[in-house]
Structure 1
Amino acid sequence: MEQKLILINIINLLIFFSFQMLLPTLPIYVKELGGNNSIIGLVTGIFVVSSVIIRPISGLLLDKLGRQKVFVVGLIIFILSVLSYSIFSVIGVILFIRFIHGFSWGAVSTGSSTIASDNIPQKRFGEGMGYFSLTSSLAMALAPVIGLSLISRYGSDTLFYVSALLVTLGFAVTFKLKYKDTTPAENSQKTKGSLYEKSSINPSIIIFFVSITYGTLTSFLPLYADKQGIVNIGMFFTVYAIALFITRPFFGKIIDTLGFDFAIIPGLILVVIAMGLLSIASSLNIFLITAFIYGVGFGATQSSLQTMAMAGVPSSRLGAANATFLTAFDSGIGLGSIILGVVSSSIGYSQMYLWAAASAMIAFVIYFMIGRKKQVQLLE
């Protein structure tokens, strides 16, 4: 693996570690401040709304202004946002900070995946994206557990300081990167002002419905487990991420050789099964079995659909392609958190996860209608 790809992987790991530490802990923090389930869903949802707003803009800027400017500015705002959580403890202000934080996350995560895409060999693109995804998987394995431990033992301030420090370290590494910027010739008049990449829309629609299931996990799983009398629920995220870590490179090789069907179809089936199991989970063992099934299914589906969204896209449009896909991904998480947060307040967490299973089934149907591709198209 080339040095520049290793560096962006390190940066992505640090960014995702910070991000994942806050996912299961911010709902707890807001709950302590007096927020109900609807407010907790809004905390996740408003973050995603702002990231959805900025992603297509940041994708266009990555292609037009270059990778470095957008990436560095996004990281600075990210650091300031996380530090602000420790300063303000009013729900209304937290919601505003979360909105600004979402802007930075949209720019930074779009930037990191675009920079990685620039540096992955064309003929091993599926495999390369699988390895890039391992950084986020490793963060998912460790960060939620560490975040939950920090907030329970040392309080929210320590949690936010550690989270900000991780992004600061990632920011320091950015100055070692060499960025591949598009040239004026590549930025033709034809693509000028185009916020979305048309060839990436179909896989993006599918990931929208899949990511609704992920939104219910990040927003409500710790609260659901607590209601069920389950302790050490942080292990769920560890098992989930281990499953991602094991299977993502494997499925990357599969789509490079056999096509997308062999990864996405079984992946979607496993996501449906996992949501169904979660709706009846009553012990830690069932939660952990569900975590592994979901990890394999989501890992196969998410990384394969992202590869599909970027396959065949010229380098001058990779920013827009990543933005298109990640906008849909974030939209699913945000809407899932908001809508299913209201649902859970009315019918409970168990029934809510059945709704999430239905969302994955919709994704399965849509894949057969508009999403299928037999081969990975190499990047031009």
Structure 2
Amino acid sequence: MQKENTNNETLWTKNFIIINIINLLIFFSFQMLLPTLPLYIKELGGSNSVIGLVTGIFVVSSVIIRPISGLLLDKLGRKKVFVIGLIIFILSVLSYSIFSVISVILFIRFIHGFGWGAVSTASSTIAADNIPKKRFGEGMGYFSLTSSLAMALAPVIGLSLIARYGSSMLFYVSTILATLGFIATFRLKYKETTTQSTNKTNGSLYEKSSLNPSFIVFFVSITYGALTSFLPLYAAEQGIANIGIFFTVYAIALFITRPLFGKIIDTLGFDFAIIPGLVLVVIAMGLLSIASSLPLFLVTAFIYGVGFGATQSSLQTMAMVGVPSNRLGAANATFLTAFDSGIGLGSIILGIVSASIGYSQMYLWAAASAVIAFTLYFIIGRKKIDPSSRLI
């Protein structure tokens, strides 16, 4: 395999463009199912608890596979993990259209989580391989735009497909998108894996140097779990029916600001992106606790999008700064495992909280989680390493 040269300053190489296209296709396929799979389960007679289990079991399997995928990415190479993960992902999506028994769908969803965990860990690692070290923050910012674009458009398209043509068409389109991404993987040139390393933790599932930013993002992602799990219910309680536009505004804010903050951390450092980002997340959660009209919800969506976009992408960049290239897979896995765990655990804990004190007060608890992240950043998170020193 040809080894890619990432020591120059060119960002938009053929390889980087291809991995961005692949990531867009995969995330589109994934995001189309998020709001629609619960409708499918409901159509089959599933209860709200079963719908919650469909979400939870997916998070569990993706969290299990991420650290294993990270280690395999560094040991076996990027291509094998990426391709195998995509095959599992594609077959899982296609299987939803074949089986209409809830117990079988739960099993498929569990397997689907394995595919998603492996694919999403591999894609971000491959992107990192192809970003010049002096433009790393900017490059990761652009790469994250593909997921933001999918987040803004895919749920709307998915809901439209299932409403007009039924669930089978939805699953076919999702399968086709992922398959196109699979085909494009064979146009990539993958970074060679190296077995020689002086790193004593070379065989570890987790990258020790990435633990601090991962620990911080765990608390940040709790706020995201509060949004995805309970915002529609909270908005309905306030008499707002068309709250889907909240996530569109949120995604637009991500799309606008992520490359900007990427350039900021490359030139000024992490503090100038993460500190204001965390402050905005806290403010957004506070505003949600008092929101009672659609305009205020949308203002909150934009503030949260800017804050979360600055924080999440910057912390992911920090998790890879100074990490040897043969441990990038483990570094990505460490970060994404913490991210998923925060969403999953946050949804469970805040669900219990909301049942006791209501959604409004629950978002204040979510704000407290962001305050904890803000505090931790000053205690364990502030990294003195220049972002451009990523490659060792």
Give TM class, smaller chain: over 0.9
Work out the CA distance in 2 between the residues paired with 1:58 and 1:352: 34
TM-score (norm 2): 0.91
Q: Is 2:267 the counterpart of 1:291?
A: no
Q: Contact 2:139 / 2:262 at 8 angstroms: preserved in 1?
A: yes
AA matched with 2:371 = M
AA matched with 2:54 = V
Work out the CA distance in 1 between the residues paired with 2:102 and 2:368: 32
Q: Contact 1:201 / 1:324 at 8 angstroms: preserved in 2?
A: yes
- Equivalent residue for 1:304, pick from 296, 310, 314: 314
> Any residues of structure 2 matched to 1:135-174 within 5 Å, and which?
135-174=146-185
Map of 2:266 onto structure 1? 256
Map of 2:243 onto structure 1? 233
Deviation at 1:71, TM superposition (A): 0.3
Map of 1:85 onto structure 2? 96
Map of 1:56 onto structure 2? 67
Q: Is 2:223 the counterpart of 1:213?
A: yes
> Any residues of structure 2 matched to 1:17-166 within 5 Å, and which?
17-35=28-46, 37-166=48-177
Where does structure 1 lack aligned partners over 5 or more consecutive residues?
none
Work out the CA distance in 1 between the residues paired with 2:43 and 2:375: 40
AA matched with 1:182 = T
Where does structure 2 lack aligned partners over 5 or more consecutive residues?
1-11
Map of 2:254 onto structure 1? 244
AA matched with 1:304 = S
Runs of 4+ in 1 over 6 A off after TM superposition: none
Q: Is 2:331 the counterpart of 1:321?
A: yes
AA matched with 2:340 = D
Seq. identity, % = 84
Cα distance per residue 1:275-312 (max 9 Å; x no partner): 22223333322221111111000000000000000001
Q: Is 2:347 the counterpart of 1:337?
A: yes
Supply the RMSD in Å over aligned alpha carbons.
1.9
Q: Is 2:386 the counterpart of 1:376?
A: yes
AA matched with 2:257 = T
Map of 2:6 onto structure 1? none
Work out the CA distance in 2 between the residues paired with 1:278 and 1:202: 28
AA matched with 1:263 = A
Work out the CA distance in 2 between the residues paired with 1:33 and 1:356: 33
- Assess, with a 3 A threshold, how the Cα gap between structure 1 residues 268 and 40 changes in structure 2: closer, same or farther: farther
Number of residues of Structure 1 aligned to a counterpart in Structure 2 = 379
Work out the CA distance in 2 between the residues paired with 1:282 and 1:90: 39
Q: Contact 2:212 / 2:381 at 8 angstroms: preserved in 1?
A: yes
Work out the CA distance in 2 between the residues paired with 1:206 and 1:146: 33
TM-score (norm 1): 0.94
Cα distance per residue 1:97-121 (max 9 Å; x no partner): 2211111111000000000000000
